[in-house]
Amino acid sequence: MTQEDEYFMGIALREAEAGLADGGLPIGAALVRDGELVASGCNQRVQAGDPIAHGEMDCLRKAGRQKTYRDTVLYTTLSPCMMCSGTIVQFGIPKVVVGEAENFDGNIDFLRERGVEVVLLDDEGCKDVMRRFLAKPGNDALWNEDIAED
Active-site residue list = 56
Query: What's the alpha-carbon Rg for the chain, to the nearest Å?
Result: 14
pLDDT at residue 104 in the model: 95
**Rounded Cα gap, residues 94 and 71, in angstroms:** 7
pLDDT at position 13: 98
pTM over 0.95: yes
| Whole-angstrom distance, CA of residue 117 vs CA of residue 103 | 21
Q: Please tell me the distance from the alpha carbon of residue 28 to that of residue 26, in angstroms, as a whole number.
A: 7
pLDDT values of the chain reduced to their tens digit, one per residue, 150 residues: 899 999 999 999 999 999 999 999 999 999 999 999 999 999 999 999 999 999 999 999 999 999 999 999 999 999 999 999 999 999 999 999 999 999 999 999 999 999 999 999 999 999 999 999 999 999 999 999 888 887
Distance separating alpha carbons of residues 117 and 102, to the nearest angstrom: 19
In CATH, 3-147 is 3.30.365.10: no
What is the residue type of 134?
L
